[in-house]
Structure 1
Amino acid sequence: MLFFGDTCKPLFSCLSLGSRLSVKLITSTVQTRLFNLEEEGLLKEEDLGQWRRTHYSKEVGPAMADREVVIMGWVSSVRDHGNISFIIIKDMHGEVQVTAKKSEVGEQLFALAKEVKEHTSLGVRGKVRPQEKAPNGAEVVPAEIKAFSVAKKAAPFMTTGKSSPVGIDTRLDLRAVDLRRQQLGSIFRIRQTVVNAIREFLSRQDFIEVSTPKMIATATEGGAALFPIFYYDREAFLAQSPQLYKEQLTMAFESVFEIGPIFRAEPSRTNRHLSEATSVDVERAFADYGDVMALLERMIIHIIDSVKDRNKADLEFLEIAMPALELPFPKYSYSDLIDKLQEAGERIPWGDDISPQVMKSLQDERLNGFYFIVDWPTSTKPFYVKPKADDPKVCESFDLMYGPLEMSSGSTRINRKDQLIERMQKQGLKPDAFDYHLRVFDFGVPPHAGFGMGLERLLMALAKIENIRDATFYPRDIDRLAP
């Protein structure tokens, strides 16, 4: 080894170029091997093989004392207390504590347990033992530990706690790891309940769940907020709404709904906008906007009751309570709100949209929960919304609000071809582009009404989420196209 020391540099410099390269290669190989020996430990990655989970975390409790179990999950935390190590394994239902005491499990297994790192994918075979301080009042004493995938890096943020000091963009760069956070786990379990409750409620009302095309030939609602795509040899667009298709489907099925993606190319950077969102779209034949408002508010009640019943632990962890609601929800006409806003000093003319910022200027406790804004100016709504017969400047429309945030928008629809064409032309749209839709009105489209509701917006309201990007799994907005 002295040959490679500083005192022998003159000797090294006397070697030929080929000899020098050989020496450097040997030195590098030796150093790499020594580094690998230092890094190699007892914990090796293994295949699943014949191992299978026997119990989830929620099933491991004091009543299972002395029973052998196989648990699997990812390591959420590790605590080393010298001759005892605590490993918390998390699965889809919660956490289970693995306790490795040197005097109980033997030196080799104890040494292996001490090498376990957070986020490692792990399986443990062992016996259950009551432990009052452990999750569910029991722990697992390991007889065998199997690592399926060893974490190579420490995550740049913690997965425990109700909030993270790390910025949302850093978290989104590692979204799959971010979704392991307790806060997001609770949020998305609530989301699952919301989706299930919507399907339950509408199915009981004899609605049929449908699927509509997401690649379309022309704009659904007019405007330029569309994502163009190539469809073989022509231009197409990602659907901004299933609106026209769900209207057509009332001809055959009367009552239909869809829970699916919508795409809006709106260059917005607010905390309430997404370029790809999930919409709950509902349409019912032989109904008007009053009927579907009543349907929507009853659906909201069912959703909230379901979350209260099925997500008690998540609500407790998030420290939130579901709003107390009574039917019917308060209703305010657009014109009345404009008058109130003008009285409050807002310079907003009749016919303008009402922004969330403007709504905050109204000091009315009834506007802090769910309420409807009804009878909007016809000029502010899409071509398919039906104007009032006695005042065409106003249409049979509504927005469901939660505080200043819009949850849903709905209306009575126009079901006569000549009126549709007239409305299209007034909005500068070309009826020929909508021929595929207009032609069905020659075959008896029933009177109908419906609404669309943003799932992420609703989740924001119920789970008190500040940024809508935490209400969807992999958000898409003006700045983010990955992961």
Structure 2
Amino acid sequence: MIRTHYSTQITPEMNGGSVTVCGWAHEIRDLGGITFLVVRDREGLIQVTLFKKTIDKNVLDIVRNLSRESVVAVTGNVKKEAKAPNGYEIVPAAVAVLGKAESPLPMDTTGKVDADLDTRLDARFMDMRRPGTQAIFRIRHLIQKSVREFLGGEGFIEITTPKVVATATEGGTALFPITYFEREAFLNQSPQLFKQLMMSGGLDRVFEIGPIFRAEEHDTRKHLNEATSIDIEASFLDNEDVMVILENLVKYVYSSVAENGERYLKTLGVEPKIPKTPFARVTYDKAISIARDNGEKIEWGDDLTTESEHSIGETVGEHYFIVDWPTKIKPFYVMPYENKPEICRAFDMMHPRMELSSGAQRVHSYELLHSRITEQGLNADGFEFYLKAFRYGMPPHAGWGLGAERLLMTMLGVENIREVVLFPRDRKRLSP
């Protein structure tokens, strides 16, 4: 049987028309003289009504013997019914079982019996059948679609960079080593070096939505070891220019989701507040002053702790930027201020709950970049492929990376980042 309609494509005005719907047996209620089969497809619920006196006995027997979550195809006539989901029901002429489900189920899909997060992730295929879980990933799709729309409208070209690399992107030890034939290689921390190379290559404005890997031993509600990063790099722009692009992107994404994802937001009971632009610019000095005033112990030159981020976020109360960071705690490719080299042109974009993005104007001088790599205790020879591009005409450029999962979880008020990833990879979870 071939599907002719999803549940939302059928209307009461189609009364008497024949349709074929396909989906899962969400619920079966046998009341003796009448049996109801509720079929769930990607878009919603369909009520199939079988009257004992008029229905074919073979069809009735198939439905009465169905196990919940079996896959079915139903062909029948649409009947207008105000009490049914979407205002119609289907009176079946034929029901075919396409995939039988065993009992008991790994978890309940109706929402009547809750399950803890580990149970849901262990049976993610079944968890995806829950309307709330599907709504999260339909909104995630809308976010990535709107990111592409916005950046395309700003003249950005989408690229794809390697995820297997020979050296660390940002230095440090947070790398997953892999065996690459006779050599050691690593899973990439970021597309940073490669998107900068595209500035030398003349693409001018590029973006990527892709996976990043961090071998950090975090076990928190906001960290993953494999995440999705939304990255841009743009020539002839400075840190402030790309901050404007970032805040306008976030506003556009929120607006797009509010406009196009209303039914999914309703399923989740969420009404995201569209942020106002421009976002506040809070200097690093001001940020640590706020944290200290709120009782946090933090010294100038320290990175912000989770507690400090919460403290500052509660004070600011909306999306904001922290700007003008100490140079020593930012990566080697970040541009220091010429008149005050201990401060750099870096920024973090913050939600009151957490950091969402980091970016900066980049060093485009070969000599300065080489010395910055050395100053951070890294071997410049390992970055030769990268440094080479800076010897043959590198324009001034700037960019940022935005965490897709963190953007989604803060938009929806989700508490655990694993909720917004199909198959999360963290310190403990490698399967499914």
State the TM-score bracket (shorter-chain normalisation). Answer: over 0.9
Alignment check: 8 A CA contact 2:313 2:352 kept: no
Cα distance in 2 between the residues matched to 1:94 and 1:234:
51
1:172 paired with 2:143, answer: no
Q: Which structure's residues are more often strand, by fraction?
A: 2
Q: Deviations over 1:174-209 (max 9, x none)?
A: 111111111111111111110000000010111100
What is the aligned-residue RMSD (CA, Å)? 1.3
Instruction: Note the C-alpha offset of 1:101.
Output: 1.8
1:154 Cα offset (Å): 2.8
How much has 1:464 moved relative to structure 2? 1.3
Residue in 2 that maps onto 1:147: 97
For 1:440 and 1:275, the matched residues in 2 are separated by 30
Contact 1:118 1:154 in 2 (8 A): no
Shift in alpha-carbon separation, 1:369–1:80, aligned structure 2, 3 A: farther
- Contact 1:398/1:409 (<8 A) preserved: yes
Q: For residues 307-339 of structure 1, give each alpha carbon's deviation from its aligned partner in whole angstroms, at most 9, with x where no partner exists.
A: 011011111121111113221111111111111
Superimposed CA distance per residue, residues 60-113 of structure 1 (whole angstroms, 9 cap, x where no aligned partner): 221111101111011222222222222121222222111112112133221211
- The equivalent of 1:292 in structure 2 is 242
Q: Is the counterpart of residue 192 in structure 1 residue 133 in structure 2?
A: no
Q: Which of 227, 239, 250 is matched with 1:277 structurally? A: 227
Give the Å deviation of 1:131: 1.1
CA gap of 1:388–1:164, structure 2 versus 1, over 3 A, is farther
State whether residues 171 and 178 of structure 1, in contact with CA within 8 Å, keep that contact through their aligned partners in structure 2.
yes
User: 2:257 pairs with 300, 307, 328, which one?
Assistant: 307
Q: Does 1:435 align with 2:395?
A: no
Paired with 1:469 and 1:374, the residues of 2 have a C-alpha distance of 29
SS in 2 for 1:425: helix
The aligned counterpart of 1:403 is: 352
1:245 and 2:197 aligned: no
**Aligned 8 A contact 1:261 1:278 in 2:** yes
Structure 1 counterpart of 2:9: 59
How many correspondences in the alignment? 431
Q: Distance in 2 between matches of 1:363 and 1:392?
A: 28
Contact 1:357 1:404 in 2 (8 A): no
- Secondary structure class of the residue paired with 1:58: helix
Distance 1:82 1:389 in 2: 83
Per mean C-alpha deviation after superposition, the further-off stretch among 316-325 and 445-454 is 316-325
Is contact 1:52-1:70 (8 Å) kept?
yes
- Alignment partner, residue 75 of structure 2: 125
Q: Which has the higher helix share?
A: 1
Summarize the Cα distance change of 1:265–1:164 in structure 2 as closer, same or farther, 3 Å threshold. Answer: farther
Conserved 8 A contact 2:251-2:274: no
Q: Following TM superposition, by how much is the alpha carbon of 1:164 offset from its aligned partner in structure 2, in angstroms?
A: 6.5
CA distance in 2, matches of 1:165, 1:331: 42
Q: TM-score, normalised by structure 2?
A: 0.97
Once residues 57 and 429 of structure 2 are traced to their aligned partners in structure 1, the CA distance between those partners, rounded to angstroms, is 49
Q: Distance in 1 between matches of 2:18 and 2:223?
A: 49
Tell me the equivalent position of 2:212. 262
**Per-residue displacement from partner, 1:393-425 (whole Å, max 9, x unpaired)?**
111011111113111000000001111111111
Partner of 2:277: 327
Q: Which runs of 5+ in 1 are unaligned?
A: 1-50
- Work out the CA distance in 1 between the residues paired with 2:309 and 2:154: 34
Distance in 2 separating the partners of 1:333 and 1:291: 17
1:368 and 1:404 in contact (8 A); partners too: no
Q: Does 1:138 align with 2:93?
A: no
Name structure 2 gaps, 5 residues minimum.
none
Determine whether 1:84 maps to 2:34. yes
The aligned residue for residue 35 of structure 1 is none
Matches of 2:18 and 2:215, distance apart in 1:
55
Q: What is the letter of the counterpart of residue 98 of structure 2?
A: F
Once the two structures are superposed, what CA deviation does each residue of 1:368-414 show, in whole Å capped at 9, x if it has no partner? 32111111111111110111112111110111111131110000000
Quick one: distance in 2 between partners of 1:140 and 1:279? 44
The aligned counterpart of 1:105 is: 55
TM-score by length of structure 1 reads 0.87
AA aligned opposite 1:481: L
Question: What is the percent sequence identity of the aligned residues?
Answer: 43
- Secondary structure, in 3 states, of the residue corresponding to 1:253? coil
Q: Could you say which residue in structure 1 is the equivalent of 2:422? A: 473
Q: Which one is further off, 348-357 or 302-311?
A: 348-357
Partner in structure 1 of residue 290 of structure 2: 340
**Is the contact between residue 227 and residue 264 of structure 1 (CA under 8 Å) also seen in structure 2?**
yes
Which one has a bigger Cα radius of gyration? 1
Alignment of structure 1 residues 442-481 onto 2, 5 Å: 442-481=391-430
Report if aligned partners of 1:254, 1:284 keep a CA contact under 8 Å in 2: yes
